[in-house]
Amino acid sequence: MKILLCTRTAPYAKQTLGMGHRIAAQVSGSLDILLVSGNEQQPFQEMQNLAEEIAVELRAADVEVGIYEESGKVSANVLREVHEHPYDLVIIGSRGRRGISKLLFGSTALQITEQVPLPVLVVKGRVRQSNKYLVCTSAGPVSERTVRFSARLAKQMGAKVHLLHVMSQVALNVRGTTLEELEESAEELIAHGSREGQHLEEMLVLSREKGIEARVLVRHGLVVDEIISEARKGRYEMIITGAHLTPGVPPSMVNDLAGQILLATKRPVLVVH
C-alpha cells in the first residue's frame, strides 16, 4: 500500500504522524510524508524531527519513506500529489473546527475528502488504539468498496470490524421496508431474508473474502446520531464510511453523509470513495 501523509504545524501533527507510522509499519509498502510549513519556525522544526524519527524506524523495517516540505494550503498540496502519484491511501490531520470558526475558515478535511478520489483518513480527536473499526454500510456499490477496503486494512492491521447499518424511516418510505423490519436485529433481518438482511449477509461475505470475520450491527433512528452513538459506546479506533462522487455535480449539492459524520465526531474517520 502506497500512503501519502500530509500535515501542517499544529497540535494535531504529532498524532497524525503517529497514526501514519502505525499503519505504514503494518501494511509495508511506502510512506510519503508531506510537511506543510506555517509561520512558526520552532514547531515546524519539531515536526521535522518527529518525521525523521519515524522514517528511521520504518526504514529499519524495510518500509520506503520519503519526507518532503512544501508551503501553502494543505488541500492544494494533497490534490497535486494524488494527481501526480499513484497512492492507495491519504492521511491528513484535522483541527476539528466547529461553529463560527468552520463558517469563517471552512474545513480543509472536508475539501480533501470531497475532491480526492481515494480513501482519505482524517485524524482528529484523541486516537484510541483499540484496533476496532466501525464500518458504516448501506445498500449499493459504495458500501461494497467501503467494506472491501476496510477488511483489507483491518486484516493488515490485525483489527476487528463491526459492520453497522442504520434503519431509519427513510427505508420505510423509499425502500418498501415494513414496520416490523424497522425494529428487527441484524440476525433477524438476515434470517428473514429482507432487503437489508441480504445486504448485511453480502457484506459479511465480502469481509470473509478478505480474511475478516466481521460482526454485524443494526441501529434504529437518525443515521448520523446512531453512528456517533455507536462509535462512542463501542470505543472504536476509527469510523469508516463511503462517499459519493458524481461527475459534474458539486459535492455541496449532494446530501453528504460522510461530511456530516466527519464534522460530528471526535475520532478518526476514514472516507472511502
Judged on CB neighbours under 10 Å (0-12, 13-18, 19+), 247 is exposed
Q: Residue 138 — very low, low, confident or very high, per pLDDT cuts 50/70/90?
A: confident
Choose the weakest-confidence range: 67-71, 128-132, 234-238. 128-132
Predicted local confidence at residue 190, as pLDDT: 86
In the chain, which ranges are continuous DSSP H helix? 13-27, 41-60, 74-84, 99-105, 108-115, 141-157, 169-174, 186-192, 195-209, 223-234, 257-264
Segment 167-182, tens digit of pLDDT: 875 544 445 555 455 6
- Grid cell 474517520 is found at 269
Q: What is the pLDDT of residue 128?
A: 83
pLDDT tens-place string over residues 253-267: 445 788 889 888 989
The predicted pLDDT at position 105 comes to 39
Residues 47-72: what's their mean pLDDT?
93
Delimit the domains of the chain by residue range.
2-123, 132-272
pLDDT of 39 reads 64
Q: Residues 249, 216: contact at Cβ < 8 Å?
A: no
Q: Which fold has domain 132-272?
A: Rossmann fold (3.40.50)
151, with CB counted inside 10 A (0-12, 13-18, 19+), is buried
For residue 103, what pLDDT is reported? 40
Q: What phi and psi, each to the nearest 5 degrees, are found at residue 134? A: -100, 115
Q: How high is the mean pLDDT of the chain?
A: 84
Buried-exposed string 139-149: b where 16+ CB fall within 10 A, e elsewhere? beebbbbbbbb
> Grid coordinates standing for 223?
443515521
Q: Do domains 2-123 and 132-272 have the same CATH topology?
A: yes
Is there a contact between 183 and 172 (Cβ–Cβ < 8 Å)?
A: no
Does the domain at residues 2-123 carry the CATH identifier 3.40.50.620? yes
Cell numbers describing residue 18: 503517529
Give the model confidence (pLDDT) of 68-94 as tens digits.
999 888 999 999 999 999 999 999 988
- Side-chain-side CA neighbours of residue 179 (13 Å): 0
Instruction: Write the pLDDT tens digit of every residue in 94-114.
Output: 865 554 444 433 578 888 998
